[in-house]
Amino acid sequence: MYLHIGNDLAVAFNDIIAILNLETSSKAATTKDFLKKSNSVANPNFQENDYKSCVVTDRTVYYSTISSGTLFKRATALLK
């Protein structure tokens, strides 16, 4: 199963480690450092402040314009 995370991207549900809210989680220095150093995928059509969340997998961090709450609801629906 795949989770559609917006920006024409879908991520394999089993690969997802975390879904982070960028507004709150990027305030911590450790998280900022992790996101800067990670292999990330972002849509070049959006500005950095357009992203609301990121989906962390073991290989990549995917940035999304969809809120973490909405992504969580979509992920929860896949479990049913």
Give 29-48 pLDDT, tens digit per residue.
Answer: 999 899 889 999 888 888 88
> How many Å apart are CA 45 and CA 6, to the nearest integer?
13
Computed over every residue of the chain, the mean pLDDT equals: 91
> How many Å apart are CA 45 and CA 38, to the nearest integer?
20
Look up the pTM and report it: 0.88
